[in-house]
Amino acid sequence: GAGVSQTPSNKVTEKGKYVELRCDPISGHTALYWYRQSLGQGPEFLIYFQGTGAADDSGLPNDRFFAVRPEGSVSTLKIQRTERGDSAVYLCASSLSSVGEQFFGPGTRLTVL
Amino acid sequence: DQQVKQNSPSLSVQEGRISILNCDYTNSMFDYFLWYKKYPAEGPTFLISISSIKDKNEDGRFTVFLNKSAKHLSLHIVPSQPGDSAVYFCAARSSGSARQLTFGSGTQLTVLP
Q: Which residues contact B5 (CB under 8 A, 6 or more apart)?
A: B23, B24, B25, B26, B104, B105
Which sign does the torsion angle of CA B42, B106, A108, A1 carry?
Answer: positive
Q: Which residues of A touch B101 (CB under 8 A)?
A: 33, 35, 43, 45, 102
Spatial separation of the C-alpha atoms in residues B62 and B80, rounded to whole Å: 10
Non-local (6+) Cβ contacts of A35 within 8 A are A43, A44, A45, A46, A90, A91, A92, A93, B100, B101, B103
Residues 32-51 of A with CB under 8 A from B: 33, 35, 40-45, 48
Residues of chain B in contact with residue A44, where contact means CB-CB under 8 angstroms, are 103
The tens digit of pLDDT for each residue in A84-113 reads: 999 999 999 999 987 788 999 999 999 999
User: Mean of the per-residue pLDDT values for chain A?
Assistant: 94
- Is residue A1 scored above 70 in pLDDT? no
A30: pLDDT strictly greater than 60: yes
pLDDT digits (tens, 9 = 90+) for B45-87: 999 999 999 999 999 999 999 999 999 999 999 999 999 999 9
* Per-residue pLDDT tens over the stretch A45-79: 999 999 998 889 999 999 999 999 999 999 999 99
Q: What is the pLDDT of residues B21-36, one digit of tens each?
A: 999 999 999 999 999 9
Query: B76 and B62 in contact (C-beta within 8 Å)?
Result: yes
pLDDT of residue B70: 97
Question: Which residues does chain B have within 8 Å of residue A106's beta carbon, measured at their own beta carbons?
Answer: 41-43
Shortest distance, CA B104 to any CA of chain A (angstroms): 5
A65 Cα distance to chain centroid: 10
What pLDDT shows up at residue B97?
55
- Name the pLDDT band for A5 (thresholds 50, 70, 90): very high
Is residue B99's pLDDT more than 80? no
Chain B, residues 6-35, CB within 8 A of chain A, namely 6, 9
Q: Does A72 touch chain B (CB under 8 A)?
A: no
Q: In terms of Cα–Cα distance, which of B48, B31, B36 is closest to B6?
A: B36
Contacting B residues, span 61-100, partner chain A, CB-CB under 8 Å = 89, 91, 97-100
pLDDT computed for residue B41 by the predictor: 87
Identify all chain A residues contacting B103, using CB atoms and an 8 Å cutoff: 35, 42-44
